Structure 1
Amino acid sequence: MISLVQLECFIAVAEELHFGAAATRLKMTQPPLSRQIQQLERELSTRLFDRTSRRVALTQAGRALLPNARRLIDLAAKAVSDVRSVGEGAAGTVTIAYTAMAGQAVVPDLLRRASAELPGVTLLLRELVSLDQVEELEKGTVDIGLMRPLLARPQISSRAVYRERLAVALPSDSALAQRAEPVKLIDLKDESLLMYSPSGARYFHDLLLSMFVASGVHPHIVQYAGQVPALLAMVSAGIGFTLVPQSAERISPDTVTLLPISEADPSSRVNSVELDIAWNSESHNPLVERLLNLIDDVDHDG
């Protein structure tokens, strides 16, 4: 079988057209160099050089082999370089999952920073609800998740990226929206609530319930949805109101008004939304730690 050493020896002799000069270039003596060439010729069943006492010249077969040998050596060198880069966390692929709101607040700046600071890294992005992210992290099909806090899982590690407060999203033509001032949840006791799904958005569902309980309000729930954009669309249609992260203002249509919840409202003490980064603690992807540190530093609107 042809070896890379044989090809390197062949290239050196082909370029120097002198066994002594080629041996010096390769930092070896001439006899082992000659043996490598002879072995290569046996493997190929043809002569690669015409040798006389005064000159060395490539045969037609040798001329045909030379460009291919160079390409093979270059490919081998690139393979070694690529593998080392991946092992050192300088190149490779990372799959990042994110919620709809994280896609607005974190992902854009993350992409800009990764492009500038980790040019050899390819980011594959997937929009998934938090529960689906955890399942993909456990299976190893996602490397990093940008999600809402969930119950602890043995394989999954996480930490907070940022926190923000919830705001009330109202149809812009509603009486409350016209007031353009902080709202107390008691002001919404007779309004229709668009609620987060208890299965698809458990974190938000439980948070809203705790806020209404703290305010002594029993909301009239008329519809459920699992993502902020879907709830905003229903608010825009005049179906009711909901509570969304303040950063949702950037994706709210003109027909929706976001008002802050009054600091005097009893729910204020629990009005805090957290976004976490999560990863599989058993991951062998050397790039995960570098991306985690990069995410910690990104700008967001939380």
Structure 2
Amino acid sequence: MFTLMQLTSFVTVAEELHFTRAAERLKMTQPPLSRQIQLLETELRVQLLERTNRSVRLTPAGRAFLTEARRILRQSEHAVLAARQVATGEAGSIAIGFTAASAHSVLGTLLEVARTAMPGAAITLREMVTRDQLAAIAEKSLDLGLGRPSVTGPDLRSRPAARERLLAALPTGHPLAAGDEPLKVADFEGQDLLMYSPIEARYFNELLISIFRAAHVTPVFSQYLSQVHSILALVNGGWGMALVPETATRLRYPRIAFKPVELTTPQPVELNLVWREDNDNPALHALLRHAAALLPAQGASQC
């Protein structure tokens, strides 16, 4: 079978129609170049070039083969480039899981990083609660998760991606919605509160429980839901108040008032990037490298 070097030699001679100039282009001497052409013609069992002391011409077979030789060389260049891009993470594919709330914060930044720094990479997005993300990461159907920090497992790695404050979301006609003063945790005593599911939204559930328990406050948990947008829809319908991450204010509901809440931890809501330590997908690690410069929280931690 002919080699890429033989094809390159033939194409160069065909373009120059002069062995000396072709050899100079290839940075080699003329005898080895002539040998490459001879080997190619022997392999193909056809004469590609007519040579005299004064000229070099393509034969009809040479003209036909030139088109195909150029195509093969272009394909070989594309193959090399594709392999290098996948190896460096510039191409390939990456599956990213995200919570509904993270779609309004870190996810946008992460996708912009991928679009700008890794335009050849294919991104697959899957909206999932943190628990389901961790299961998908464990079974290797998901490369990267954007989840809350209830992360466990010896094979997992995580990196803080964002912190934000909790805000009170209240129906606009609620007595506590009036005024500009921040609410206190004690204001939630006996109030109807839309609560997060202890299973699907375990992180938020445990966070709110700890806040109320530390303040010795007992709201009335009227409903348990898993998604922030579902909670806000019920607040908008007058079903009660809620505590939501600040990014939830980007979901505009006409009958919701957002108010700050005085907490001992000003930014208690955390979001992590999570992945398997043994994931060898170059696109994943390229994305993590590029994102490290833009995401506000830096550094990786063993989980």
With normalisation by structure 2, the TM-score equals 0.85
User: What does residue 153 of structure 1 align with?
Assistant: 153
1:86 and 1:286 in contact (8 A); partners too:
yes
User: What does residue 253 of structure 1 align with?
Assistant: 253
SS of the aligned residue for 1:261 comes to: strand
Distance 1:269 1:6, change over 3 A: closer
Please identify, of 111-120 and 234-243, the stretch whose mean Cα deviation from structure 2 is larger: 111-120
Q: Distance in 2 between matches of 1:114 and 1:143?
A: 14
User: What does residue 201 of structure 1 align with?
Assistant: 201
User: What does residue 277 of structure 1 align with?
Assistant: 273
Q: Distance in 1 between matches of 2:26 and 2:288?
A: 44
1:172 alignment partner AA: T
Aligned 1:63-78 pairs, distance under 5 A: 63-78=63-78
Alignment gaps of 5+ in structure 2: 297-303
SS of the aligned residue for 1:211 comes to: helix
SS of the aligned residue for 2:199 comes to: coil
1:183 and 1:261 in contact (8 A); partners too:
yes
Q: Distance in 1 between matches of 2:265 and 2:7?
A: 72
2:90 and 2:121 in contact (8 A); partners too:
yes
How many aligned positions are there?
Answer: 296
User: What does residue 106 of structure 1 align with?
Assistant: 106
Identity %: 44
Q: Distance in 2 between matches of 1:298 and 1:21?
A: 51
Please identify, of 10-19 and 50-59, the stretch whose mean Cα deviation from structure 2 is larger: 50-59
Aligned 1:115-154 pairs, distance under 5 A: 115-154=115-154
Please identify, of 158-167 and 22-31, the stretch whose mean Cα deviation from structure 2 is larger: 22-31
User: What does residue 301 of structure 2 align with?
Assistant: none
2:36 alignment partner AA: Q
User: What does residue 219 of structure 2 align with?
Assistant: 219
Q: Shift in Å at residue 289 of structure 1?
A: 4.0
Q: Shift in Å at residue 135 of structure 1?
A: 2.2
Q: Distance in 1 between matches of 2:190 and 2:215?
A: 14
User: What does residue 22 of structure 1 align with?
Assistant: 22
2:94 and 2:284 in contact (8 A); partners too:
yes
Q: Shift in Å at residue 204 of structure 1?
A: 0.7
User: What does residue 59 of structure 1 align with?
Assistant: 59
Q: Shift in Å at residue 145 of structure 1?
A: 1.9
With normalisation by structure 1, the TM-score equals 0.85
Q: Distance in 1 between matches of 2:242 and 2:95?
A: 32
User: What does residue 231 of structure 2 align with?
Assistant: 231
2:276 alignment partner AA: N
Q: Shift in Å at residue 126 of structure 1?
A: 3.0
Aligned 1:37-48 pairs, distance under 5 A: 37-48=37-48
Q: Shift in Å at residue 58 of structure 1?
A: 0.9
Please identify, of 145-154 and 27-36, the stretch whose mean Cα deviation from structure 2 is larger: 27-36
2:100 and 2:227 in contact (8 A); partners too:
yes
User: What does residue 49 of structure 1 align with?
Assistant: 49
SS of the aligned residue for 2:149 comes to: coil
Q: Distance in 2 between matches of 1:30 and 1:262?
A: 83
Q: Distance in 1 between matches of 2:211 and 2:121?
A: 42
Q: Are 1:80 and 2:80 matched, yes or no? A: yes
User: What does residue 170 of structure 1 align with?
Assistant: 170
Please identify, of 37-46 and 95-104, the stretch whose mean Cα deviation from structure 2 is larger: 37-46
Alignment gaps of 5+ in structure 1: none
2:196 and 2:224 in contact (8 A); partners too:
yes
Please identify, of 75-84 and 97-106, the stretch whose mean Cα deviation from structure 2 is larger: 75-84
Q: Shift in Å at residue 147 of structure 1?
A: 1.3
2:188 and 2:218 in contact (8 A); partners too:
no
SS of the aligned residue for 1:205 comes to: helix
Distance 1:269 1:22, change over 3 A: closer
1:192 and 1:220 in contact (8 A); partners too:
yes
2:94 and 2:122 in contact (8 A); partners too:
yes
Q: Shift in Å at residue 233 of structure 1?
A: 0.9
